[in-house]
Amino acid sequence: MRSSLLLVFFLSLSFCCFSQSKFSNLFQFSYIASSGGGDGSIVGLKYIGSVAAGEHITAGAGIAHDIWFDNRIRTFNFSSVLADLRYYFKGSGAGSNFFFTPGYAVKVSDRSSTGFNLNTGLGSKIELNSQQKLMVGLGFDFHNVQDEGFKRTFRGVTFNLGLVF
């Protein structure tokens, strides 16, 4: 798990260093409470770099590390590669938005799991100052776990809190 977290940290740091002003960077914390299909909860960190694709749409890619605390079996670790698509209702990449973030967890260590994941819902970007914005979101999350010969599914309500810079 330590190597997964270090990978996420160094990749997000390198993305931040090489980004330009026309791109936006989102560093986000997620908490997902189970609503069926599995016990426990998931916490995670995401980094997404995105670019405006018109007045109402942003598209991006990123990385994430999620930890599923399953009460019945054990803890699962996910290191995912993500795509991110957001539609801003008022345009200009601000205010309320719809987000769609599919990803696939890749095996980066012996303790990590693989599988498809999806996070979708409604969010809002709130301006803190001219360079930083607060991103909040509420939605639905789906994780499909493939690990050591078995498959499990986690579905839940997600709360996202992030910083856009």
Residue 19 is assigned to a structural domain of this protein: no
CA dist 19 and 96 (Å) reads 24
CATH number, domain with residue 75: 2.40.160.20
- Per-residue pLDDT tens digits for 34-43: 876 566 888 9
CA dist 153 and 146 (Å) reads 9
Residue 148 is assigned to a structural domain of this protein: yes
Domain holding 152, by residue range, is 2-14+24-164
Does the pLDDT at position 65 exceed 80?
Answer: yes
Residue 160 is assigned to a structural domain of this protein: yes
More confident residue, 53 or 120: 120
In this predicted structure, what is the pLDDT of residue 59? Answer: 94
- Per-residue pLDDT tens digits for 141-150: 998 877 766 6
The total number of structural domains in the chain stands at: 1
Which residue type is seen at 41? S
Burial class of residue 87, CB neighbours in 10 A (0-12, 13-18, 19+): middle
Give this prediction's pTM. Answer: 0.81
Does the pLDDT at position 123 exceed 70?
Answer: yes
Give φ, ψ of 18 to 5 degrees. Answer: -100, 5
Find out whether 77 and 60 touch, Cβ atoms under 8 Å.
no
Confidence of residue 9 (pLDDT cuts 50, 70, 90): low
